[in-house]
A = this chain, B = another copy of it.
Amino acid sequence: MEYTIGEFSKLTDLGIHTLRYYEHEGLLTPERNSSNRRCYSEKDLAWVMFIKRLKDTGMPIKQIQHYAKLRAAGDSTLPERMELLAAHRNALCIQIRQLQENMEKLDSKIEFYRTEIERMSNK
């Protein structure tokens, strides 16, 4: 199955401008048909979903770009790609821990507010 940019935009929830921007940045390389229109494949779809995951976990476009280049270079870059993902995974792990810590602090602040409001209404 192939998709026009309009269909692909809806499918990925990404906006045609964003899709063209990603392509310009080297993240995507869809085929073109006889009249130069972009043809996105299922493979492009899976790849975009992965890009979104990387983005959601805070990876900047520049790094995704690097990863995309490795991917385009073929199987010989598998180890390097794995390294890259593993490093990102570890950063993510730290980030999650920090967020959890922050949430705990936030919880105690909320608790403080709760007792403070209680105290004031009992005055």
Interface residues of A (CB under 8 A from B): 50, 53, 56-57, 75, 78-79, 81-82, 85-86, 88-89, 92-93, 95-96, 98-100, 102-103, 105-107, 109-110, 113-114, 116-117, 120
Assess the B110–A78 pair: CB atoms within 8 A: no
Q: How many copies does the complex hold?
A: 2
Give me 6 other A-B pairs in contact (C-beta within 8 A), A82-B114, A82-B117 excluded.
Answer: A78-B113, A78-B117, A78-B120, A89-B103, A96-B99, A96-B103
On chain B, the residues within 8 Å of A81 by CB distance are: 113
Taking chain A's interface residues, is the majority helix, strand, or loop, or is none over half, making it mixed?
A: helix
Residues in B with CB closer than 8 Å to A96 are 96, 99-100, 103
- A–B Cβ pairs within 8 angstroms, 10 of them: A53-B102, A53-B105, A56-B102, A57-B103, A78-B113, A78-B117, A78-B120, A79-B117, A89-B106, A92-B103
Q: Chain B's nearest CB lies how many Å from the CB of A94? A: 11
